Structure 1
């Protein structure tokens, strides 16, 4: 399928870090050594967070995990991992080294996992189930003990997650440290940094069947959190599009930071807003059918425009609501050329949201 220039530009917005600020002077970085057993203990006690939702989206295949365990057993040099430490909550977060930590946890937990049969690893461990390594009476237990006792280099960033400047800096660190072959996009990073009830809500709403049909999704996985970012954009633009500053990543980061631990009333309000909005879009604009492919930028404007006029639109005939959508598409601001000229620029975004809000009001 041919990818348009607009689609390429829209894809960039899911990856771009627009934070250009200097590192906060009160973040302290230091190096330390920790044994694999200690890291495993921290994980089991809930002190070290490695985001299971994130792991399901990007994860090493079994051969890569097996080779890493083989490297630990052979005590080969392992690159330093990077963790953040929120000194107020004593919460540790993996910034760089997620797959290494996941492999350590998987091996030491003795879960149902059989190491891959590979020619370039120690033949004694090739194809062996991890349950044998955990067994004290097994000859393989020596390798389990060796991994437990092995110390790994850790770079620790001591910070305060309640400070926007700190979480913005961590966001940039995630970008810089994960710029290799498995580069993280913005929402994957937010899923780590801003984990909490609001992030859980985004992940939960992404499983809504109407939302999935609107996005032509057959399953929730495989989109690398880009659909959760669309939901985040919807909430952020609905609440404060007029305060948008032209820096999309930072705008969304700050919205998540401010709403990381909301009360139940906030969660219920956002859920209701989202569900009423997508019901109108799905049923009244697209007639309860999977919609044709439309640009992300147009889609988010439609969602925001509809959300400001829920009661009015719910009372309108489907055909009338559909004409509002058609009017929106006819606007110069929503032409592909116009969108390509300034996708995330401040005046363009504010103008698009204002137009959508007005059109769906029936005026």
Structure 2
């Protein structure tokens, strides 16, 4: 066992200063809602992405099996304690009047409740309430349906002060723990290949890291790799985006790894260099005309942090598309469009799940740079 270093008063003071500096203040409120209201907030407007209670792009799809969902419904019917649902007011980057609630933890529970109330879940393999097996919500007596809808679930609501980084960090800690692999780490283990090696190389490009102001923590989370992967995936495939970001990135990564399996070494090297050139050319435009586009300044902390993934991919891909069309340098007449109400509407934190919105925000940047608007 290695010898323990001395814990001096100076080290204690440094440790305390580090805690104070890096601790995130997360203001929150505790609210209790009837199940009927929670489901209504989730379902009303879900088809056109205007529902008050929404699922962000970094969340997973429905993962619970029918048996798992049934067990959760059984717990509600038995009146057992239900874990808090964590949500965040998304107004920090949106219109203040919008005030939608981003689900940080609880998507499986919300979806299960919606499935059950909509008679899309048939209860199965229940142990405590075995007589309810094969029941749907409609099969319950009307009195029990009403009592179920009136049952309440507590919700922790982060205020608008909680930015995207805080929300993602909380999601990771609740769902995966500190040692669980994040999505990019999983991709490294599951989908290794020449294209992923290229993503790794470009993610370490110093000018890219400087422009995005990645912190040490975000670098450890492999955020630079995800930003690079997003750049190429949306640049070459944004019209085919279906709404699930992780699946979209995974499928593109798999596709590109296969495409790079070219027997001809010269052809493979040429293809790699072409992708590098597009990435570097995009950085040239950012660095030359709007070097602050990829980060935001936190006045309260007097530090920079990367801009949201949505804004990054919108700007980066929009620039690359404009360069392709112009077949040369792009000289913007103005950069004011990046701070316009229209661009903010396209890139607010809850605008990520719609194919139409992805296309609109990327092509908005492209057209502004080309002077088409």
Return the TM-score normalized by structure 1.
0.48
